[in-house]
Structure 1
Amino acid sequence: MKILVFGGTRFFGKKLVARLVTAGHDVTIATRGKTADDFGDSVKRVVMNRESREHLFCLAQEKWDVVYDNICFSPQDALYAIAAFQDKVGKYVYTSSLSVYSARDRALVEADFNPFYYEIVTGSREDFDYGEGKRLAEAVFFQKAGFPVVAVRFPIVLGPDDYTGRLEFHVNHVLAKEEIGMPNGEAEIGFISSDEAAEFLEWVGTKSDLTGPVNAASDSVYRLDALMQLIETATGTTALVEEVTEDNDDSPFGIEKTYYLDNSKARAAGFVFQDLHDWLPKLIAYHVSNK
Protein backbone atom coordinates (compact mmCIF):
# COMPACT_ATOMS: atom_id res chain seq x y z
CA MET A 1 0.00 0.00 0.00
CA LYS A 2 1.03 3.57 -0.61
CA ILE A 3 0.70 5.33 2.75
CA LEU A 4 1.10 8.92 3.96
CA VAL A 5 1.67 9.61 7.67
CA PHE A 6 1.33 13.08 9.16
CA GLY A 7 3.50 13.10 12.26
CA GLY A 8 5.64 9.97 12.20
CA THR A 9 8.90 10.88 13.91
CA ARG A 10 8.15 10.46 17.62
CA PHE A 11 6.13 8.44 20.13
CA PHE A 12 3.43 6.15 18.71
CA GLY A 13 3.60 7.85 15.30
CA LYS A 14 7.20 6.72 14.93
CA LYS A 15 6.27 3.20 16.01
CA LEU A 16 3.43 3.19 13.48
CA VAL A 17 5.84 4.08 10.68
CA ALA A 18 8.22 1.32 11.77
CA ARG A 19 5.38 -1.22 11.66
CA LEU A 20 4.24 -0.04 8.23
CA VAL A 21 7.78 -0.24 6.84
CA THR A 22 8.27 -3.74 8.28
CA ALA A 23 5.00 -4.79 6.65
CA GLY A 24 6.39 -3.72 3.27
CA HIS A 25 4.31 -0.63 2.59
CA ASP A 26 5.47 2.39 0.58
CA VAL A 27 5.55 5.02 3.33
CA THR A 28 5.92 8.80 3.18
CA ILE A 29 6.16 10.81 6.40
CA ALA A 30 5.12 14.47 6.40
CA THR A 31 6.31 16.68 9.26
CA ARG A 32 7.83 20.10 9.92
CA GLY A 33 11.22 18.43 9.68
CA LYS A 34 12.26 19.42 13.20
CA THR A 35 12.67 15.88 14.59
CA ALA A 36 15.23 13.52 13.10
CA ASP A 37 14.35 9.90 12.44
CA ASP A 38 16.36 6.75 11.88
CA PHE A 39 14.32 5.25 9.03
CA GLY A 40 17.02 5.91 6.45
CA ASP A 41 15.93 5.31 2.88
CA SER A 42 13.07 3.01 3.94
CA VAL A 43 10.68 5.99 3.90
CA LYS A 44 10.17 9.11 1.84
CA ARG A 45 10.02 12.47 3.63
CA VAL A 46 8.14 15.69 3.01
CA VAL A 47 8.72 18.83 5.05
CA MET A 48 5.45 20.70 5.37
CA ASN A 49 3.11 22.67 7.61
CA ARG A 50 -0.01 20.62 8.44
CA GLU A 51 -2.02 23.86 8.81
CA SER A 52 -1.16 25.00 5.27
CA ARG A 53 -3.83 24.36 2.64
CA GLU A 54 -1.24 24.80 -0.09
CA HIS A 55 1.08 22.18 1.39
CA LEU A 56 -1.77 19.67 1.67
CA PHE A 57 -2.74 20.18 -1.96
CA CYS A 58 0.87 19.52 -2.98
CA LEU A 59 0.76 16.16 -1.21
CA ALA A 60 -2.58 15.40 -2.84
CA GLN A 61 -1.04 15.51 -6.30
CA GLU A 62 -0.55 11.79 -5.70
CA LYS A 63 -3.10 9.15 -4.72
CA TRP A 64 -2.79 7.34 -1.40
CA ASP A 65 -4.26 4.06 -0.21
CA VAL A 66 -4.20 5.26 3.40
CA VAL A 67 -3.52 8.62 5.06
CA TYR A 68 -2.77 8.66 8.79
CA ASP A 69 -3.33 12.05 10.40
CA ASN A 70 -1.85 12.28 13.90
CA ILE A 71 -1.56 16.08 13.92
CA CYS A 72 -5.00 17.44 13.05
CA PHE A 73 -6.26 19.61 15.92
CA SER A 74 -8.97 21.85 14.47
CA PRO A 75 -11.95 21.96 12.11
CA GLN A 76 -9.91 24.11 9.73
CA ASP A 77 -7.22 21.42 9.54
CA ALA A 78 -9.93 18.87 8.70
CA LEU A 79 -11.55 21.07 6.05
CA TYR A 80 -8.20 21.56 4.32
CA ALA A 81 -7.60 17.81 4.30
CA ILE A 82 -11.02 17.11 2.81
CA ALA A 83 -10.52 19.67 0.07
CA ALA A 84 -7.06 18.32 -0.76
CA PHE A 85 -7.64 14.55 -0.62
CA GLN A 86 -11.08 14.28 -2.20
CA ASP A 87 -10.79 11.39 -4.71
CA LYS A 88 -7.13 10.95 -3.68
CA VAL A 89 -7.34 8.60 -0.69
CA GLY A 90 -8.75 5.13 -0.06
CA LYS A 91 -9.05 5.53 3.71
CA TYR A 92 -8.32 8.36 6.10
CA VAL A 93 -7.31 7.46 9.67
CA TYR A 94 -7.69 10.39 12.04
CA THR A 95 -6.13 10.15 15.50
CA SER A 96 -8.73 11.55 17.88
CA SER A 97 -9.01 11.43 21.66
CA LEU A 98 -10.90 10.44 24.78
CA SER A 99 -11.21 14.21 25.24
CA VAL A 100 -14.11 14.34 22.77
CA TYR A 101 -16.31 12.92 25.55
CA SER A 102 -17.80 15.26 28.12
CA ALA A 103 -19.58 12.45 30.04
CA ARG A 104 -17.93 11.01 33.14
CA ASP A 105 -18.37 8.32 35.80
CA ARG A 106 -18.75 5.30 33.50
CA ALA A 107 -17.24 3.46 30.56
CA LEU A 108 -17.70 5.60 27.47
CA VAL A 109 -18.94 4.13 24.20
CA GLU A 110 -18.63 5.70 20.76
CA ALA A 111 -22.27 6.84 20.76
CA ASP A 112 -21.60 9.09 23.75
CA PHE A 113 -20.23 11.62 21.28
CA ASN A 114 -21.89 11.63 17.85
CA PRO A 115 -19.85 13.72 15.38
CA PHE A 116 -22.34 13.14 12.58
CA TYR A 117 -24.76 15.59 14.19
CA TYR A 118 -22.39 17.89 16.07
CA GLU A 119 -22.73 21.51 14.98
CA ILE A 120 -19.69 22.60 13.00
CA VAL A 121 -17.96 25.83 13.95
CA THR A 122 -14.92 26.72 11.87
CA GLY A 123 -11.65 27.95 13.24
CA SER A 124 -7.99 27.10 13.71
CA ARG A 125 -6.15 25.40 16.54
CA GLU A 126 -5.82 28.47 18.75
CA ASP A 127 -9.58 29.09 18.65
CA PHE A 128 -10.51 26.02 20.70
CA ASP A 129 -9.31 23.97 23.63
CA TYR A 130 -7.93 20.51 22.82
CA GLY A 131 -11.16 18.57 23.34
CA GLU A 132 -13.35 20.94 21.34
CA GLY A 133 -10.81 21.07 18.51
CA LYS A 134 -10.91 17.28 18.29
CA ARG A 135 -14.73 17.19 18.46
CA LEU A 136 -15.05 19.71 15.66
CA ALA A 137 -12.44 18.01 13.50
CA GLU A 138 -14.35 14.74 13.81
CA ALA A 139 -17.59 16.52 12.94
CA VAL A 140 -16.02 18.00 9.82
CA PHE A 141 -14.56 14.69 8.66
CA PHE A 142 -17.75 12.70 9.16
CA GLN A 143 -20.14 15.31 7.80
CA LYS A 144 -18.07 16.66 4.92
CA ALA A 145 -15.62 14.03 3.65
CA GLY A 146 -16.40 12.04 0.53
CA PHE A 147 -13.88 9.33 1.43
CA PRO A 148 -13.94 6.68 4.20
CA VAL A 149 -12.80 8.01 7.58
CA VAL A 150 -12.08 6.29 10.87
CA ALA A 151 -11.50 8.41 13.97
CA VAL A 152 -9.44 6.52 16.55
CA ARG A 153 -10.22 7.75 20.05
CA PHE A 154 -7.25 7.07 22.31
CA PRO A 155 -7.04 7.60 26.07
CA ILE A 156 -3.73 8.79 27.57
CA VAL A 157 -0.94 6.99 25.73
CA LEU A 158 1.99 5.81 27.85
CA GLY A 159 5.39 4.36 27.06
CA PRO A 160 9.09 4.68 27.78
CA ASP A 161 9.18 7.07 24.83
CA ASP A 162 6.43 9.39 26.17
CA TYR A 163 7.88 12.86 25.64
CA THR A 164 5.24 14.40 27.93
CA GLY A 165 6.55 12.51 30.97
CA ARG A 166 3.11 12.04 32.53
CA LEU A 167 3.76 8.73 34.27
CA GLU A 168 7.32 9.78 35.04
CA PHE A 169 5.90 12.82 36.85
CA HIS A 170 4.39 10.51 39.46
CA VAL A 171 7.51 8.40 39.88
CA ASN A 172 9.67 11.52 40.26
CA HIS A 173 7.34 13.11 42.81
CA VAL A 174 7.13 9.95 44.91
CA LEU A 175 10.90 9.48 44.92
CA ALA A 176 11.41 13.15 45.84
CA LYS A 177 8.74 12.91 48.57
CA GLU A 178 6.82 15.74 46.93
CA GLU A 179 3.04 16.14 47.10
CA ILE A 180 0.88 14.94 44.23
CA GLY A 181 -2.48 16.62 43.71
CA MET A 182 -5.21 14.08 43.01
CA PRO A 183 -8.83 15.07 43.73
CA ASN A 184 -10.38 11.59 43.72
CA GLY A 185 -8.35 8.44 44.37
CA GLU A 186 -11.40 6.27 43.72
CA ALA A 187 -11.79 7.48 40.12
CA GLU A 188 -11.04 4.83 37.50
CA ILE A 189 -8.81 5.56 34.53
CA GLY A 190 -7.69 3.68 31.42
CA PHE A 191 -4.62 3.89 29.19
CA ILE A 192 -3.04 2.44 26.08
CA SER A 193 0.66 1.79 25.50
CA SER A 194 2.51 3.49 22.65
CA ASP A 195 3.26 0.06 21.15
CA GLU A 196 -0.40 -0.92 21.24
CA ALA A 197 -1.52 2.43 19.84
CA ALA A 198 0.81 1.94 16.87
CA GLU A 199 -0.38 -1.64 16.40
CA PHE A 200 -4.01 -0.52 16.47
CA LEU A 201 -3.44 2.27 13.94
CA GLU A 202 -1.71 -0.14 11.58
CA TRP A 203 -4.54 -2.64 11.96
CA VAL A 204 -7.41 -0.22 11.52
CA GLY A 205 -5.83 1.40 8.47
CA THR A 206 -4.49 -1.60 6.58
CA LYS A 207 -6.21 -4.73 7.90
CA SER A 208 -9.71 -3.70 8.94
CA ASP A 209 -12.84 -2.40 7.23
CA LEU A 210 -13.85 -0.32 10.26
CA THR A 211 -14.94 3.26 9.66
CA GLY A 212 -16.52 5.88 11.88
CA PRO A 213 -15.49 6.60 15.47
CA VAL A 214 -13.77 3.80 17.35
CA ASN A 215 -12.36 3.63 20.87
CA ALA A 216 -8.95 2.03 21.33
CA ALA A 217 -7.73 1.36 24.87
CA SER A 218 -6.09 -1.49 26.75
CA ASP A 219 -8.41 -3.88 28.55
CA SER A 220 -9.03 -3.14 32.26
CA VAL A 221 -8.70 0.06 34.27
CA TYR A 222 -7.00 1.23 37.48
CA ARG A 223 -8.36 3.20 40.36
CA LEU A 224 -6.02 6.10 40.89
CA ASP A 225 -5.24 5.05 44.46
CA ALA A 226 -4.33 1.57 43.19
CA LEU A 227 -2.09 3.13 40.55
CA MET A 228 -0.30 5.12 43.24
CA GLN A 229 0.12 1.92 45.27
CA LEU A 230 1.88 0.36 42.28
CA ILE A 231 4.30 3.27 42.22
CA GLU A 232 4.82 3.05 45.98
CA THR A 233 5.66 -0.65 45.68
CA ALA A 234 8.06 -0.05 42.79
CA THR A 235 9.84 2.83 44.52
CA GLY A 236 9.68 1.57 48.09
CA THR A 237 8.47 5.05 49.04
CA THR A 238 5.15 6.32 50.37
CA ALA A 239 3.33 8.71 48.05
CA LEU A 240 2.18 12.06 49.44
CA VAL A 241 -1.19 12.36 47.74
CA GLU A 242 -3.36 15.38 48.53
CA GLU A 243 -6.68 16.53 47.12
CA VAL A 244 -5.42 20.10 46.70
CA THR A 245 -1.84 21.15 45.93
CA GLU A 246 0.08 23.81 44.03
CA ASP A 247 -0.65 23.75 40.31
CA ASN A 248 2.79 22.39 39.40
CA ASP A 249 2.15 19.40 41.68
CA ASP A 250 -1.24 18.50 40.18
CA SER A 251 -1.30 15.00 38.73
CA PRO A 252 -1.68 14.75 34.93
CA PHE A 253 -4.05 11.89 35.76
CA GLY A 254 -5.97 13.88 38.37
CA ILE A 255 -9.54 13.35 37.21
CA GLU A 256 -12.48 14.10 39.49
CA LYS A 257 -14.67 11.30 38.14
CA THR A 258 -14.13 7.93 36.46
CA TYR A 259 -13.14 8.51 32.83
CA TYR A 260 -12.25 5.64 30.51
CA LEU A 261 -13.15 4.05 27.18
CA ASP A 262 -15.21 0.99 26.35
CA ASN A 263 -13.30 -0.82 23.57
CA SER A 264 -16.04 -3.33 22.69
CA LYS A 265 -16.51 -2.08 19.12
CA ALA A 266 -12.86 -2.63 18.20
CA ARG A 267 -12.74 -6.00 20.00
CA ALA A 268 -15.86 -7.15 18.14
CA ALA A 269 -14.16 -6.21 14.88
CA GLY A 270 -11.26 -8.51 15.72
CA PHE A 271 -8.56 -6.49 17.48
CA VAL A 272 -7.07 -8.14 20.56
CA PHE A 273 -6.06 -5.62 23.21
CA GLN A 274 -3.46 -6.11 25.90
CA ASP A 275 -4.51 -6.05 29.54
CA LEU A 276 -3.45 -2.90 31.34
CA HIS A 277 -2.46 -4.92 34.42
CA ASP A 278 0.08 -6.84 32.32
CA TRP A 279 2.08 -3.90 30.96
CA LEU A 280 1.64 -0.88 33.25
CA PRO A 281 3.51 -2.33 36.28
CA LYS A 282 6.42 -3.15 33.95
CA LEU A 283 6.45 0.41 32.60
CA ILE A 284 6.49 1.82 36.13
CA ALA A 285 9.41 -0.48 36.96
CA TYR A 286 11.21 0.76 33.85
CA HIS A 287 10.89 4.39 34.93
CA VAL A 288 12.04 3.58 38.46
CA SER A 289 15.06 1.62 37.23
CA ASN A 290 16.14 4.53 35.07
CA LYS A 291 16.36 7.00 37.98
Structure 2
Amino acid sequence: MDVCVIGGSRYFGRLLVEELRDAGATVTVINRGSAPVPRGVIHLRADRDDEAALNAALAGRSFDVVVDQVCYSPLQAAIAARAFTGRTRRYVLTSTVEVYAELGRPGGAALPEQAVDPSAWPVDLGLAWDDPQFRAERYGEGKRQAEALLTQEAPFDVAVVRTAHVLGAGDFTGRLDHYIERIEQGLPVVVHPAPQPASFVHAPEIARFLAWAAAADFTGPVNAASRGTLGVRELCAAVGRVVGLEPRLVAGTGEPVSPLSFDRSYAMDTGRVDRLGFRFGAVADWLPLVLKEVRG
Protein backbone atom coordinates (compact mmCIF):
# COMPACT_ATOMS: atom_id res chain seq x y z
CA MET A 1 0.00 0.00 0.00
CA ASP A 2 1.26 3.46 -0.91
CA VAL A 3 0.10 5.95 1.75
CA CYS A 4 0.45 9.71 2.03
CA VAL A 5 0.14 11.25 5.51
CA ILE A 6 -0.43 14.99 5.75
CA GLY A 7 1.07 16.15 9.04
CA GLY A 8 2.36 13.20 11.01
CA SER A 9 5.18 15.03 12.78
CA ARG A 10 4.10 14.61 16.41
CA TYR A 11 2.03 12.68 18.94
CA PHE A 12 -0.26 10.04 17.46
CA GLY A 13 0.37 11.29 13.91
CA ARG A 14 3.97 10.18 14.26
CA LEU A 15 2.80 6.88 15.76
CA LEU A 16 0.55 6.44 12.71
CA VAL A 17 3.47 6.96 10.32
CA GLU A 18 5.53 4.36 12.22
CA GLU A 19 2.58 1.95 12.32
CA LEU A 20 2.09 2.16 8.55
CA ARG A 21 5.83 1.85 7.85
CA ASP A 22 6.21 -1.18 10.14
CA ALA A 23 3.25 -2.86 8.44
CA GLY A 24 5.11 -2.67 5.13
CA ALA A 25 3.44 0.34 3.52
CA THR A 26 5.34 2.87 1.45
CA VAL A 27 4.77 6.05 3.45
CA THR A 28 5.11 9.61 2.23
CA VAL A 29 4.79 12.42 4.79
CA ILE A 30 3.87 15.94 3.70
CA ASN A 31 4.46 18.76 6.17
CA ARG A 32 6.43 21.97 6.61
CA GLY A 33 9.47 20.14 7.95
CA SER A 34 9.35 21.46 11.51
CA ALA A 35 10.43 18.06 12.85
CA PRO A 36 12.34 15.13 11.30
CA VAL A 37 10.23 12.24 10.04
CA PRO A 38 10.79 8.64 11.15
CA ARG A 39 13.34 6.54 9.33
CA GLY A 40 12.25 4.74 6.21
CA VAL A 41 9.62 7.21 5.01
CA ILE A 42 9.60 9.73 2.17
CA HIS A 43 9.43 13.37 3.24
CA LEU A 44 7.92 16.11 1.08
CA ARG A 45 8.14 19.64 2.47
CA ALA A 46 5.18 21.89 1.67
CA ASP A 47 2.70 24.12 3.48
CA ARG A 48 -0.71 22.58 2.88
CA ASP A 49 -2.23 26.08 2.81
CA ASP A 50 -0.07 26.99 -0.19
CA GLU A 51 -1.85 25.26 -3.07
CA ALA A 52 0.88 25.94 -5.62
CA ALA A 53 3.59 24.57 -3.31
CA LEU A 54 1.47 21.53 -2.48
CA ASN A 55 0.89 20.77 -6.17
CA ALA A 56 4.58 21.19 -6.88
CA ALA A 57 5.51 18.75 -4.10
CA LEU A 58 2.97 16.21 -5.40
CA ALA A 59 3.99 16.45 -9.05
CA GLY A 60 4.25 13.02 -10.63
CA ARG A 61 3.07 11.23 -7.50
CA SER A 62 -0.04 9.19 -6.67
CA PHE A 63 -1.16 7.18 -3.66
CA ASP A 64 -3.56 4.41 -2.75
CA VAL A 65 -4.78 6.43 0.23
CA VAL A 66 -4.22 9.77 1.95
CA VAL A 67 -4.54 10.20 5.72
CA ASP A 68 -5.02 13.86 6.62
CA GLN A 69 -4.00 14.62 10.20
CA VAL A 70 -4.05 18.42 10.10
CA CYS A 71 -7.14 19.65 8.26
CA TYR A 72 -8.92 22.27 10.36
CA SER A 73 -11.14 24.14 7.92
CA PRO A 74 -13.16 23.77 4.73
CA LEU A 75 -10.63 26.03 3.00
CA GLN A 76 -7.86 23.51 3.71
CA ALA A 77 -10.19 20.69 2.69
CA ALA A 78 -10.97 22.41 -0.63
CA ILE A 79 -7.27 22.78 -1.42
CA ALA A 80 -6.72 19.09 -0.60
CA ALA A 81 -9.69 18.01 -2.72
CA ARG A 82 -8.23 19.76 -5.74
CA ALA A 83 -4.63 18.74 -5.09
CA PHE A 84 -5.40 15.03 -4.70
CA THR A 85 -7.88 14.71 -7.55
CA GLY A 86 -6.43 12.02 -9.80
CA ARG A 87 -3.76 11.24 -7.20
CA THR A 88 -5.66 8.97 -4.80
CA ARG A 89 -8.68 6.71 -4.64
CA ARG A 90 -9.30 7.08 -0.89
CA TYR A 91 -9.00 9.87 1.68
CA VAL A 92 -9.13 9.38 5.46
CA LEU A 93 -9.78 12.61 7.34
CA THR A 94 -8.81 12.64 11.01
CA SER A 95 -11.62 14.55 12.70
CA THR A 96 -12.67 14.94 16.33
CA VAL A 97 -15.30 14.42 19.00
CA GLU A 98 -15.49 18.24 19.05
CA VAL A 99 -17.86 18.11 16.07
CA TYR A 100 -20.48 17.15 18.69
CA ALA A 101 -19.57 19.99 21.07
CA GLU A 102 -22.93 21.75 21.01
CA LEU A 103 -25.01 18.55 20.93
CA GLY A 104 -24.11 16.83 24.19
CA ARG A 105 -26.44 17.26 27.14
CA PRO A 106 -25.99 16.50 30.84
CA GLY A 107 -27.10 12.91 31.27
CA GLY A 108 -27.57 12.61 27.51
CA ALA A 109 -27.15 9.47 25.46
CA ALA A 110 -23.94 8.65 23.62
CA LEU A 111 -23.82 10.55 20.33
CA PRO A 112 -23.98 8.56 17.06
CA GLU A 113 -22.35 9.55 13.79
CA GLN A 114 -25.62 10.65 12.22
CA ALA A 115 -25.94 13.46 14.79
CA VAL A 116 -23.62 15.43 12.47
CA ASP A 117 -24.16 14.44 8.83
CA PRO A 118 -21.30 15.72 6.63
CA SER A 119 -23.29 15.06 3.46
CA ALA A 120 -25.77 17.72 4.54
CA TRP A 121 -23.72 20.10 6.72
CA PRO A 122 -23.46 23.64 5.27
CA VAL A 123 -20.09 24.94 4.12
CA ASP A 124 -19.12 28.62 4.12
CA LEU A 125 -15.79 29.27 2.41
CA GLY A 126 -16.31 33.01 2.78
CA LEU A 127 -15.48 33.02 6.49
CA ALA A 128 -12.00 33.96 7.74
CA TRP A 129 -10.67 30.39 7.72
CA ASP A 130 -7.19 31.59 6.75
CA ASP A 131 -6.91 33.39 10.13
CA PRO A 132 -5.32 30.99 12.67
CA GLN A 133 -7.08 32.65 15.61
CA PHE A 134 -10.45 32.46 13.85
CA ARG A 135 -9.86 28.72 13.19
CA ALA A 136 -8.79 28.06 16.78
CA GLU A 137 -11.89 29.73 18.18
CA ARG A 138 -14.12 27.67 15.87
CA TYR A 139 -12.30 24.35 16.04
CA GLY A 140 -15.38 22.13 16.08
CA GLU A 141 -17.13 24.04 13.30
CA GLY A 142 -13.97 24.07 11.22
CA LYS A 143 -13.78 20.30 11.47
CA ARG A 144 -17.50 19.91 10.65
CA GLN A 145 -17.15 22.02 7.53
CA ALA A 146 -13.92 20.25 6.50
CA GLU A 147 -15.75 16.92 6.75
CA ALA A 148 -18.63 18.36 4.72
CA LEU A 149 -16.49 19.88 1.98
CA LEU A 150 -14.61 16.65 1.33
CA THR A 151 -17.73 14.46 1.59
CA GLN A 152 -19.76 16.64 -0.76
CA GLU A 153 -17.14 17.69 -3.33
CA ALA A 154 -14.13 15.35 -3.41
CA PRO A 155 -14.06 12.95 -6.40
CA PHE A 156 -12.50 10.16 -4.31
CA ASP A 157 -13.86 8.01 -1.45
CA VAL A 158 -13.83 9.83 1.90
CA ALA A 159 -13.78 8.27 5.36
CA VAL A 160 -14.00 10.51 8.43
CA VAL A 161 -12.49 9.26 11.71
CA ARG A 162 -13.90 11.22 14.65
CA THR A 163 -11.35 10.63 17.38
CA ALA A 164 -12.28 10.74 21.04
CA HIS A 165 -10.09 12.77 23.42
CA VAL A 166 -6.64 11.26 22.89
CA LEU A 167 -4.46 10.47 25.93
CA GLY A 168 -0.95 9.12 25.98
CA ALA A 169 2.70 9.80 26.64
CA GLY A 170 3.93 12.68 24.52
CA ASP A 171 0.64 14.64 24.65
CA PHE A 172 1.84 18.16 23.87
CA THR A 173 -1.33 19.71 25.37
CA GLY A 174 -0.18 18.97 28.94
CA ARG A 175 -3.67 17.96 30.06
CA LEU A 176 -2.62 14.95 32.12
CA ASP A 177 0.40 16.85 33.47
CA HIS A 178 -2.05 19.39 34.88
CA TYR A 179 -3.79 16.75 36.98
CA ILE A 180 -0.65 14.93 38.07
CA GLU A 181 1.13 18.11 39.13
CA ARG A 182 -1.79 19.56 41.07
CA ILE A 183 -2.62 16.34 42.87
CA GLU A 184 1.04 15.66 43.68
CA GLN A 185 1.37 19.16 45.14
CA GLY A 186 -1.85 18.92 47.12
CA LEU A 187 -3.46 21.71 45.12
CA PRO A 188 -7.18 21.74 44.38
CA VAL A 189 -8.45 20.61 40.98
CA VAL A 190 -11.28 22.77 39.69
CA VAL A 191 -14.15 20.85 38.07
CA HIS A 192 -17.70 21.56 36.97
CA PRO A 193 -20.38 21.24 39.66
CA ALA A 194 -21.82 18.21 37.83
CA PRO A 195 -19.05 16.84 35.57
CA GLN A 196 -20.22 14.74 32.64
CA PRO A 197 -18.64 11.62 31.10
CA ALA A 198 -16.54 11.69 27.94
CA SER A 199 -15.07 9.21 25.50
CA PHE A 200 -11.29 8.78 25.34
CA VAL A 201 -8.81 6.79 23.29
CA HIS A 202 -5.20 5.74 23.85
CA ALA A 203 -2.72 7.38 21.44
CA PRO A 204 -1.16 4.11 20.14
CA GLU A 205 -4.64 2.67 19.66
CA ILE A 206 -5.94 5.53 17.53
CA ALA A 207 -2.76 5.28 15.45
CA ARG A 208 -3.50 1.58 14.87
CA PHE A 209 -7.09 2.36 13.96
CA LEU A 210 -6.12 5.05 11.45
CA ALA A 211 -3.70 2.62 9.83
CA TRP A 212 -6.50 0.03 9.74
CA ALA A 213 -8.90 2.60 8.27
CA ALA A 214 -6.38 3.42 5.54
CA ALA A 215 -6.56 -0.16 4.30
CA ALA A 216 -10.34 -0.55 4.80
CA ASP A 217 -13.09 0.37 2.34
CA PHE A 218 -15.77 2.04 4.49
CA THR A 219 -16.78 5.63 3.82
CA GLY A 220 -18.48 8.30 5.90
CA PRO A 221 -17.95 9.16 9.55
CA VAL A 222 -17.02 6.69 12.29
CA ASN A 223 -16.60 7.35 16.01
CA ALA A 224 -13.24 6.07 17.25
CA ALA A 225 -13.09 5.62 21.02
CA SER A 226 -12.02 3.13 23.66
CA ARG A 227 -14.68 1.13 25.45
CA GLY A 228 -16.13 2.86 28.49
CA THR A 229 -16.38 6.54 29.36
CA LEU A 230 -14.48 8.57 31.91
CA GLY A 231 -15.48 11.54 34.03
CA VAL A 232 -13.08 14.01 35.60
CA ARG A 233 -13.78 12.64 39.09
CA GLU A 234 -12.79 9.14 37.96
CA LEU A 235 -9.73 10.57 36.21
CA CYS A 236 -8.62 12.36 39.38
CA ALA A 237 -9.18 9.21 41.44
CA ALA A 238 -6.97 7.27 39.01
CA VAL A 239 -4.25 9.93 39.27
CA GLY A 240 -4.53 9.82 43.05
CA ARG A 241 -3.93 6.08 43.06
CA VAL A 242 -0.82 6.51 40.92
CA VAL A 243 0.70 9.33 43.01
CA GLY A 244 -0.51 7.95 46.34
CA LEU A 245 -2.46 11.03 47.39
CA GLU A 246 -6.14 11.87 47.74
CA PRO A 247 -7.25 14.42 45.12
CA ARG A 248 -8.83 17.69 46.29
CA LEU A 249 -11.66 18.57 43.90
CA VAL A 250 -13.52 21.87 44.08
CA ALA A 251 -16.50 22.98 42.04
CA GLY A 252 -15.63 25.98 39.87
CA THR A 253 -17.80 29.04 40.18
CA GLY A 254 -15.74 31.70 38.42
CA GLU A 255 -12.25 30.45 37.71
CA PRO A 256 -11.44 28.22 34.70
CA VAL A 257 -12.11 24.53 35.19
CA SER A 258 -9.47 21.89 34.56
CA PRO A 259 -8.98 20.82 30.93
CA LEU A 260 -10.84 17.48 30.94
CA SER A 261 -13.86 18.54 32.97
CA PHE A 262 -17.03 18.86 30.87
CA ASP A 263 -20.48 20.23 31.66
CA ARG A 264 -22.10 18.23 28.86
CA SER A 265 -21.77 14.63 27.76
CA TYR A 266 -18.95 13.87 25.34
CA ALA A 267 -19.78 10.18 25.14
CA MET A 268 -19.61 8.71 21.63
CA ASP A 269 -21.68 5.81 20.32
CA THR A 270 -19.19 3.24 18.99
CA GLY A 271 -21.66 0.82 17.45
CA ARG A 272 -20.46 1.48 13.90
CA VAL A 273 -16.79 0.83 14.59
CA ASP A 274 -17.77 -2.43 16.30
CA ARG A 275 -19.77 -3.45 13.24
CA LEU A 276 -16.85 -2.58 10.97
CA GLY A 277 -14.79 -5.12 12.88
CA PHE A 278 -12.25 -3.07 14.84
CA ARG A 279 -12.15 -3.75 18.57
CA PHE A 280 -10.91 -0.95 20.79
CA GLY A 281 -9.59 -1.65 24.27
CA ALA A 282 -11.12 -0.41 27.50
CA VAL A 283 -10.20 2.92 29.10
CA ALA A 284 -9.86 1.25 32.49
CA ASP A 285 -7.15 -1.07 31.13
CA TRP A 286 -4.78 1.52 29.64
CA LEU A 287 -5.35 4.64 31.78
CA PRO A 288 -3.17 3.58 34.78
CA LEU A 289 -0.30 2.74 32.42
CA VAL A 290 -0.58 6.10 30.66
CA LEU A 291 -0.57 7.99 33.95
CA LYS A 292 2.60 6.21 35.05
CA GLU A 293 4.25 6.96 31.69
CA VAL A 294 3.33 10.64 31.82
CA ARG A 295 4.44 10.98 35.42
CA GLY A 296 7.76 9.35 34.54
Q: TM-score range by the shorter chain?
A: over 0.9
Supply the distance in 1 between the matched residues of 2:16 and 2:293 (Cα, whole angstroms): 22
State the AA in 2 paired with 1:106.
A
1:43 to 31, 38, 41: 41
Distance 1:156 1:33 in 2: 26
Map of 2:234 onto structure 1: 226
1:281 to 285, 288, 293: 288
Displacement of 1:13 in angstroms is 0.7
> Could you tell me how far 1:125 is from its partner in structure 2?
4.7
Query: Which piece of structure 1 moves more, 69-78 or 175-184?
Result: 175-184
One-letter amino acid of the counterpart of residue 86, structure 2 = D
Q: Verify the 8 A CA contact 1:184 1:254 in the aligned structure 2.
A: no
Distance 2:35 2:161 in 1: 24
* Gap change, CA 1:250 and 1:186, over 3 Å in 2: closer
CA contact (8 A) 1:96 1:134 kept: yes
| Identity in percent | 32
Are residues 1:66 and 2:65 paired? yes
Kept in 2, the 8 Å contact 1:94–1:152? The answer is yes
Aligned-partner Cα distance in 1 for 2:264–2:123: 28
Runs of at least 4 residues off by over 3 Å: none
For residues 17-72 of structure 1, the C-alpha deviation after alignment (integer angstroms, 9 at most, x for no partner) is 111111111111111111123x23x1111111111111222244321111111011
TM-score of the superposed pair, with normalisation by structure 1: 0.93
- The residue correspondences of 1:1-291 to structure 2 (distance < 5 A) are 1-37=1-37, 39-40=38-39, 42-61=40-59, 62-101=61-100, 102-104=102-104, 105-122=108-125, 123=127, 124-126=129-131, 127-128=134-135, 129-206=138-215, 208-244=216-252, 247=255, 250-288=257-295, 290=296
C-alpha separation in 2, matches of 1:136 and 1:176: 42
CA RMSD of aligned residues (A): 1.6
CA distance in 2, matches of 1:186, 1:172: 21
CA distance in 1, matches of 2:193, 2:8: 35
Distance in structure 1 (CA, Å) of the matches to 2:186 and 2:222: 40
5+ residue gaps, structure 1, are none
Query: C-alpha deviations, 1:213-253, integer Å up to 9, x for none?
Result: 11100011123212211111221222222221675x63111
Asked if 1 retains the 8 angstrom alpha-carbon contact of 2:168 and 2:294, the reply is no
Deviation, 1:202, is 0.3
Q: Would the alpha carbon gap of residues 20 and 51 (structure 1) be closer, same or farther in structure 2, given more than 3 Å must change?
A: same
* Deviation per residue, 1:131-168 (Å, 9 max, x gap): 11101101101111110011100111111111111112
Point out the more displaced range, 62-71 or 222-231: 222-231
On the 8 A contact 1:180/1:245 being kept in 2, the answer is: no
Cα distance in 2, alignment partners of residues 267 and 231 from structure 1:
29
Structure 2 unmatched ranges of 5 or more = none
Partner Cα distance (1:60, 1:227) in 2: 44
Of the structure 1 ranges 159-168 and 131-140, higher mean CA displacement relative to structure 2 is found in 159-168
Task: Give the letter for the 2:82 counterpart.
Answer: A
How far apart, CA to CA, are the structure 1 residues paired with 2:267 and 2:113?
12
- Alignment length (residue pairs): 285
In structure 2, distance between residues paired with 1:63 and 1:34: 24
Mapped contact 1:184–1:224 kept (Cα < 8 A): no
